[in-house]
Structure 1
Amino acid sequence: MNGLIRYTRPTELFDWSRMLDSFFDDAPVWNTQTPAVDVKEEEKRYLMEVELPGLTDKDIELKVEDNILTLSSKKEESKEQKKDGYLLRERRGAEFCRTFVLPQDADRAEVKAEFKNGLLMVDIPKKPEAQPRKIDVRVN
């Protein structure tokens, strides 16, 4: 019987305190948020879809430097203070930075982006010389 541990039932007050602590402590807290990204290769281009709910086009920065595509955002938290009535406040400013190494056949000068309804679509064309082409075979 050496492996048994005696169980002591906590008092009701302790249970209530623990319940409140777990309510507030178990809530997810994010210092930064990383958006979900899908990248798809097609014959003439790469397509990147990025979910950015709650952001506007002014919150997003997209740049290409050498063969690195950088997507970043910094949305400031509202300075309005409404203390009364809040039990939990998870919506805050959002800041993130993602970098992607572009493939060698990507045409970095022709990258385009469109933002609509919280979805950023990045179109990365392939260089013309990297695209497949049909070669005619001549007979002499």
Structure 2
Amino acid sequence: MSNLVNVPKSGGLSNTNSNISFPTWSSWIDEMFNRELPSVFTSNFNTGMSSPKVNIKETEDAFEVEMAVPGLNKSDFKIDLDNDTLSISTEVKEEKEHTEENYTRREFGYSSFKRVFTLPESINEDHINAKYENGILNIHLPKKEEVKQKPVRSIEIS
């Protein structure tokens, strides 16, 4: 009994009696590096908190910054103004220890974020204020008087 094997000019072996196709070395390597990694490898698990989303609204008199950051206290925030740069950050550390009969369970956590904004020159830095209410941080950035939009007025032609 003899099995004949065709050897193509490319040098690879193929079995003419089989419908099974084996991946080539290059296609196997491509698949290995192009497949999606599990989310645990692609997530940013070192930060402990994702960067919160920010809404910025401009009115005639000011810019209003809203940041959704539920679950924090107002004392958790640090807001700094350095020249024309406004930075908003927080760092929260939590430790819990529970001891019961034969075991002790310790849990700890750390979360932080920092958002930095370059302010326009039109901001009156002396009157910036912030409040934290119902999980929303609001920062009021008033404009200087000289840059506020003045109402339209009609000019008479003489």
TM, length-normalised to structure 2: 0.62
In the alignment, which residue of structure 2 is the partner of 1:9?
none
Unaligned runs of 5+ in 2: 1-13, 16-20, 24-37
- Is 2:128 aligned against 1:114? no
List structure 1 segments (4+ residues) > 3 angstroms apart after TM superposition.
81-84, 134-140
Of 57, 68, 71, which aligns to 2:74? 57
- Is 2:56 aligned against 1:31? no
Segment drifting more, 31-40 vs 55-64: 31-40
Of 128, 131, 137, which aligns to 2:145? 128
Of 41, 57, 60, which aligns to 1:43? 60
Residue 36 and residue 82 in structure 1: after superposition, are their counterparts in 2 closer, same or farther (change >3 A)?
farther
CA distance in structure 2 between the partners assigned to 1:121 and 1:100 by the alignment: 14
Q: Which has the higher contact order (CA 8 A, sep 6+)?
A: 1
TM, length-normalised to structure 1: 0.69
CA distance in structure 2 between the partners assigned to 1:72 and 1:129 by the alignment: 31
How far apart are residue 137 of structure 1 and its match? 3.3
SS at match of 1:81: strand
Q: Percent identity?
A: 23
SS at match of 1:47: strand
How far apart are residue 30 of structure 1 and its match? 4.3
Unaligned runs of 5+ in 1: 6-21
Say which one has the larger Rg.
Answer: 2
How far apart are residue 32 of structure 1 and its match? 4.2
The count of corresponding residues between Structure 1 and Structure 2 is 119
User: In the alignment, is the contact (CA less than 8 A) between 2:76 and 2:90 conserved in 1?
Assistant: yes
Residue 47 and residue 76 in structure 1: after superposition, are their counterparts in 2 closer, same or farther (change >3 A)?
same
Whichever residue aligns with residue 103 of structure 1, its letter is P
How far apart are residue 4 of structure 1 and its match? 2.6
Structure with more strand by fraction: 2
